[in-house]
């Protein structure tokens, strides 16, 4: 694959063109400043708000988006991919000049056919492999940063040359630019976000949980694994020197240990999971699901964010960062970050959140550790001493159920679920089968929501389950009793699931009803009423 550098690009091609940067956020501001510093003629298109004010403060002429598009030979769409289809249809497409060059920083909307390109334009990709702050900082430092370019439509016959010229003007060809298709860029980007990143995160969470269960002090675990910054530094060295060469920076004990033990982690199932994610991306299933989720107001995303923020790990990280007197990188990012009012709102929000988490952590203590049947950390987390004694929770405080009792409770629960109006309403337009498998007891049961009927029973489901959950008996009891948040437990590795992630999350919409029914069945069975 050829890598293009400065000498492959000709700035003269765009020197006398009017360039409209649409959006003045992360990429918009960085690229607009770099283009101007490369001697080009740049205007900005944005709504009249904080972002527009910042562009004006940076001495750009700012216009409404449609006006900026109508004035430009080159239109750089640097707004979030989520809003791009609507903004493009309403404000960009009707005002695009004939022979304009339309530039995307991500292949997503074109690759997943959310945008219809008019025939008489060039459509190109100039996609930095760098966040906005880095795009500007690298340019100012004279370093450059890698980027992908691509051509979706070549009306002028010079589309690739335009993409290269723009890549040079923002500083990318100083480092090196590779050509890919829009689809390849979008798919690789999503793969990193949805497969590589989460798989890596799962290894991290599993390691944190294992080490906490084994009694290592929480702060030491976090410092060792990632919070000291040593691991991030090593990743930087891997990028700089390569995976093999960087090993020379480590002791021979480390080299021998990591290379000899690394073989243990060649796990075929991991490749299967990564492929599953890639297939979902390539087929467009993810893009369709995400578009649908957004048109519903993104309730699943809100739920996932909430669950992630409620993770005890989040609160521990916050405290440890403060204890370490960590220097956040805000100072470096600030010149390119959101406008001051937006930044102030974000800081207030962060403070509010930390306050909320502190309260929560104080109330529940190091709840996740308490929920575990395995040994507790040898050194309790300081925040685990609650300011007030935890409120009595009859279910959480109850002795674990034996197998026979759990089966009786589940049978009663499944019988009640079959006639519960809220569950039947949920089942109306759906056909979802879930299987629950315990990891520490020989017990499987299933629940099906299909065409208005709710059916369930012990054993494997009669039809294949779209979602199969595995957990310990204590976790199941905690989840159905409402004392344990299933999304959080999944993120913490206490629940593993196979099948459709979104279906698993959809079931959470009736989680409260399932909890109500289970708690009632549990009380009834255990009290013999």
SS (H, E, C) 427-454: CCCCEEEEEEEECCCCCEEEEEEECCEE
Min dist. Cβ of residue 429 to ligand NDP (A): 30
**Is 79 an interacting residue with respect to ligand NDP (CB under 6 A)?**
yes
User: In the structure encoding, which two tokens stand for residue 428, read together?
Assistant: 């109306």
**Is 128 an interacting residue with respect to ligand NDP (CB under 6 A)?**
yes
**Is 514 an interacting residue with respect to ligand NDP (CB under 6 A)?**
no
User: In the structure encoding, which two tokens stand for residue 501, read together?
Assistant: 């992630």
- Binder among 19, 20, 24, 281 for ligand NDP (CB under 6 A): 24
Tell me the C-alpha distance between 291 and 97, whole Å: 29
Task: Name the residue nearer to ligand NDP (CB basis): 26 or 485.
Answer: 26
Look up residue 41 and give its DSSP letter: E
- Binder among 32, 33, 68, 87 for ligand NDP (CB under 6 A): 87
First to last CA, the chain: 73
Task: Name the residue nearer to ligand NDP (CB basis): 30 or 473.
Answer: 30
Tell me the C-alpha distance between 208 and 377, whole Å: 12
* Number of neighbours of residue 248 by Cβ within 10 angstroms: 9
Min dist. Cβ of residue 20 to ligand NDP (A): 13
User: In the structure encoding, which two tokens stand for residue 147, read together?
Assistant: 């980027």
Between helices 197-213 and 268-282, what is the axis angle to 10°? 140
Q: List the interface residues with ligand NDP, window 44-73 (CB under 6 A).
A: 46-47, 49, 51
- Binder among 9, 19, 27, 456 for ligand NDP (CB under 6 A): 27
Conformational region of residue 275, where left means phi above 0, alpha means psi within -120 to 50, and beta covers everything else: alpha
Site string for ligand NDP, 96-115 (x = CB under 6 A): ---------xx---------
Q: List the interface residues with ligand NDP, window 163-182 (CB under 6 A).
A: none
* Number of neighbours of residue 93 by Cβ within 10 angstroms: 17
DSSP 3-state of 472: coil
- Binder among 14, 62, 78, 123 for ligand NDP (CB under 6 A): 78
DSSP 3-state of 81: coil
Tell me the C-alpha distance between 322 and 309, whole Å: 17
**Is 31 an interacting residue with respect to ligand NDP (CB under 6 A)?**
no
Task: Name the residue nearer to ligand NDP (CB basis): 42 or 401.
Answer: 42
**Is 28 an interacting residue with respect to ligand NDP (CB under 6 A)?**
yes
Min dist. Cβ of residue 254 to ligand NDP (A): 33
Site string for ligand NDP, 451-470 (x = CB under 6 A): --------------------
Q: How many CA atoms lie within 13 A of 292 on its CB side?
A: 8
Residue 378 · residue 415 · CB < 8 Å? no
Q: How many residues bind ligand NDP (CB under 6 A)?
A: 22
User: In the structure encoding, which two tokens stand for residue 381, read together?
Assistant: 């987390």
Residue 177 · residue 139 · CB < 8 Å? no
Site string for ligand NDP, 130-159 (x = CB under 6 A): -xx---------------------------
Q: Which residue is nearest to ligand NDP (CB)?
A: 25
Locate the DSSP E strands across 130-185. 147-153, 177-179
Task: Name the residue nearer to ligand NDP (CB basis): 132 or 312.
Answer: 132
- Binder among 25, 218, 365, 461 for ligand NDP (CB under 6 A): 25
Min dist. Cβ of residue 27 to ligand NDP (A): 3
* Number of neighbours of residue 473 by Cβ within 10 angstroms: 18
**Is 369 an interacting residue with respect to ligand NDP (CB under 6 A)?**
no
Task: Name the residue nearer to ligand NDP (CB basis): 21 or 165.
Answer: 21
Task: Name the residue nearer to ligand NDP (CB basis): 51 or 112.
Answer: 51
- Binder among 9, 23, 281, 489 for ligand NDP (CB under 6 A): 23
**What residues make contact with ligand NDP under the rule CB under 6 A?**
23-28, 46-47, 49, 51, 78-81, 83, 87, 105-106, 127-128, 131-132
């Amino acid at each position: 694959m050829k890598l293009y550098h400065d000498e492959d690009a000709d700035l003269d091609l765009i020197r006398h063109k009017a360039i409209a940067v649409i959006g003045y956020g992360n990429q918009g501001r960085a690229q607009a400043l770099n283009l101007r510093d490369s001697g080009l003629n740049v205007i900005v298109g944005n709504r009249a708000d904080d972002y527009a004010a910042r562009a004006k403060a940076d001495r750009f002429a700012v216009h409404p988006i449609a006006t900026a598009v109508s004035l430009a030979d080159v239109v750089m769409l640097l707004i979030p991919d989520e809003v791009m289809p609507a903004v493009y249809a309403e404000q960009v497409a009707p005002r695009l000049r004939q022979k304009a060059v339309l530039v995307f920083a991500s292949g997503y909307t074109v690759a997943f056919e959310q945008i219809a390109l008019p025939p008489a334009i060039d459509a190109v990709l100039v996609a930095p492999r760098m966040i906005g702050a880095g795009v500007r900082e690298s340019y100012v430092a004279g370093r450059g940063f890698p980027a992908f370019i691509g051509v979706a439509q070549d009306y002028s016959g010079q589309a690739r040359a335009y993409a290269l010229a723009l890549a040079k003007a923002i500083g990318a060809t100083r480092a090196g630019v590779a050509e890919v298709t829009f689809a390849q860029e979008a798919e690789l980007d999503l793969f990193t976000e949805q497969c590589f990143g989460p798989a890596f995160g799962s290894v991290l969470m599993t390691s944190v949980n294992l080490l906490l269960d084994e009694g290592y002090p929480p702060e030491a675990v976090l410092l060792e694994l990632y919070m000291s910054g040593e691991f991030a530094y090593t990743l930087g060295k891997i990028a700089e020197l390569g995976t093999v060469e960087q090993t020379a920076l480590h002791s021979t004990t480390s080299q021998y240990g990591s290379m000899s033990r690394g073989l243990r982690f060649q796990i075929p199932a991991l490749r299967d999971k990564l492929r599953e994610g890639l297939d979902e991306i390539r087929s467009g299933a993810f893009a369709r699901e995400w578009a649908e989720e957004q048109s519903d107001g993104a309730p699943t995303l809100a739920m996932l964010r909430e669950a992630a923020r409620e993770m005890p790990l989040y609160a521990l990280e916050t405290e440890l960062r403060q204890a370490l007197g960590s220097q956040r990188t805000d100072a470096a990012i600030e010149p390119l970050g959101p406008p001051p009012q937006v930044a102030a709102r974000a800081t207030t929000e962060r403070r509010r959140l930390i306050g909320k988490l502190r309260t929560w952590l104080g109330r529940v203590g190091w709840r996740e550790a308490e929920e575990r049947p395995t040994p507790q950390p040898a050194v309790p987390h300081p925040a685990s001493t609650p300011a007030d004694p935890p409120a009595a929770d009859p279910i959480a405080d109850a002795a674990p159920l034996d197998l026979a009792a759990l089966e009786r409770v589940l049978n009663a629960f499944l019988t009640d679920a079959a006639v519960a109006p809220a569950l039947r309403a949920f089942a109306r337009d759906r056909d979802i089968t879930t299987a629950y498998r315990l990891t520490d007891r020989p017990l499987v049961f299933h629940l099906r929501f299909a065409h208005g009927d709710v059916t369930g029973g012990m054993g494997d489901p009669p039809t294949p389950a779209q979602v199969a959950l595995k957990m310990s008996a204590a976790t199941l009891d905690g989840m159905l009793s409402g004392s344990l948040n299933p999304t959080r437990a999944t993120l913490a590795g206490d629940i593993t699931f196979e099948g459709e992630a979104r279906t698993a999350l959809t079931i959470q919409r009736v989680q409260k009803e399932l909890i109500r029914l289970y708690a009632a069945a549990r009380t009834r069975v255990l009290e013999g009423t």
